[in-house]
Every structure is written in structure tokens, then in C-alpha cells.
Structure 1
């Protein structure tokens, strides 16, 4: 059997020295995070599989890993005195106001009220908007800096929001829930889904390529 012994032993590695954020188990091909704190976006990892036969054969594939900004530890919650259904209809405009006054890229992570109010979305005048911010270099801005800027720009933000909602608006700051997921956790979850599809196909491709070349 041409795929027995060392010919059938595959070792995995990351190409182009990408081990700052991720690493790989050379025996199983499982990718795991090293450090993605303060980072968000999609990482393109080039993975190589190599057999251990006399004439070593290799194959490569790209695995896309998305780190969700909602996984950040620097989430800030802005509380608006508006009904949740009204805020949801105008969330794009709210985002533009926050970005304009904070001078950072703002991501709206969630818009919510209490569990009861989720069922009756026009029943209350309190809505929570969970945000995180990134600077021009796509580096995460700390929660303390975001809150400081929100306090400095509070009056200006409220004036602009009043134009959107056609009513006086107050924008308060509330701490994010303590159980917010870490970037490593969310990246691992995303990786699990990706690898379930990608690496299986990758292994089939490698084995098929090895067999075809050896025959």
C-alpha cells in the first residue's frame, strides 16, 4: 500500500510564520489561538500538510479565521432613553453619530432591553446599545478610553441623537456584562466550525493527491 507507514503519516504546519496569533498541532492539524486580544477581523492562515515518505509530497490550503469584535473585553454599553424598536429602526444613524463624535470606528454589538421588553419591544423608554471601538490602525480602543470620550462628547452626542429621534435624548454609560466572551473563546468557536468543514476536505484532498502522484 503506497499510503502505509511513513507515506501515510501527515505532519501539519503554518506557512509564513503565522504563530504570533495562532499555532497548529503538527500531528492532528488542529489550529488554536495563541493571542488575538485586541484584534478583530479575518485572518488567512496557510496550512501545509506533508507526508513523511522518501519522496515527500506536500499540499496547502487556506483556512479563514474570523475573530468577532463582539468577543472583546472592551465592550461599553450606552443606555438611551428611547424605545428599543425606535432605536433599532435608527441604529445606522446612531452608529454614524457615535463614530463622528468619538472619531473611531464603532461596532454595534447588540441592542437590547430586559427579557420582558424583548417580547414587548415598545413597552419601555430604556434601550441598551453595546458597542466596541477600533482606531485607524484597526487596534481595539480600551473601554476606559471609550467611556472617557463618551463623557467628553456627551452633550454633542445627545444633540445629534435628538435630531434623529425628534425628542430629547440622554445617553448614559453602563458597564458591559461580566460574562462577555474573550477573543480567544470566540475565535476557538469559529475555528471549530471552520475546521470541521475545511480540514476534512483538506485531508481528503491531500490523500487523493498523494495517491495520484505515487501511481
Structure 2
């Protein structure tokens, strides 16, 4: 606005209460997301610009915002020890601080506290801020690079955010849990376990069978030895009896 003073000061706002998904910086007119997780399609935002003169002049326009349904693996979640309603009110400043310290274009995808009730949203001091960064070539910056730089700039980011929130700030990075195993991997693991159990059972069977055969062979060998020994003893006894009989008969014959 070429006018001077308040007549030249423009303030921007969203019309029709569209602040649940988007918000706007009233001084610059920059639109940013508040919570669009799980939402896709095109949103039609009506933006109003108004000067601050005695007789306020206004103008409106429609901004089309398209949310791509494709997911990204480069989303990073920051955890702030601030109430969600406070973070939502200062999303533009949070974005500015992150862009300044990371030196990338940063977009806030979602602001969440895992609490749906209004009272809880104003009392729970844990807020999750999902961000994604783009380089100068408008390419997504890998999540690991974003996390690395967030760690390097952690103290500076916290200092800047303390000035924004007028309170002590702790900014952490939420580590995403490992993806759950796929059905194919689960099937492979189950088959591997079953194969190992089957092999173990087979080895146990072989060992037990060998032990039984060895025991049976030893018992059979002992039995054979006993039978042989018994046969020899009987034969020796028979020979002795036979010899005595023969001698007796011989003596009787001589007499």
C-alpha cells in the first residue's frame, strides 16, 4: 500500500474460520499449515488484506492449496515442552527460527499434542511438530540430514524459541520406531524356527536311536558271552563226568 502511516499498514487474515488446517502471518501474509496430517486434496483459502486507516479499506482473494496424498520418508518430528495452543499461535515464528538455523526452506506439516480436548490442549506441556525441509533446488532434504543439523543447532534453536515463547524451551527429536516386520519377513522367521525345531528333533532322535542300539548291542554281546561261558562250563563238567565214568568202568573191567 503506497499510503503513509497506518493507512499504508496492511494486515492479512483468513476468512471463514479456516484456522484448523492453515494459518496466516498477519504481517507478511505468508500462509502455513497447522494440521493437515491425513488430509489430501485442494483447499480454497479466502485471504483478506486490510489497511489500518480511519476508513479501513479491504480486499479479498482466493488461494488454492493442494495437498499431495503421497507420503514422505523425510518428515522429522520435533518435541517441544510447550502447550500446543501456544505453539500453534507462534507457528510462523517457529518456522522462521528453523529456516534461519537450518538454512533450508522448512514447512510445518502438523502440530499435535496427542490430546483432543481443549482443556488438555492448554495444559499439556508436550507438543509434536512435524516438519519437512527443502533445499534451494526444491528437493526434499533427507530426514537424517535434518536431524543431524537440528542436533548441531539445538542450543541456538532453543535460545531463539525462548525469545518467541518467553519461556524456557527444550527441543528434542522424536526417533521414529522401526517399521514392523512385513508378512514375508514374519513367514520367513516362522519357517526358519520350524526348520530349526525339526532339525533339532531329528538330531535328538538319531542320538537316542544310536544310544538304544549301542545298549542293545552291549546287552546282546554280554548275553552271548554268558551263553558261551555257560556252554564251556557244561562241556567241561560233561568231560569230567565222562572221564570218571570211563575210569570206573576200566577198573571194574580189570577186576
TM-score, normalised to structure 2, is: 0.42
The structure with higher relative contact order (CA 8 Å, sep 6+) is 1
Larger radius of gyration: 2
- Give the TM-score of the pair, scaled to structure 1: 0.49
Greater share of strand residues, 1 or 2? 1
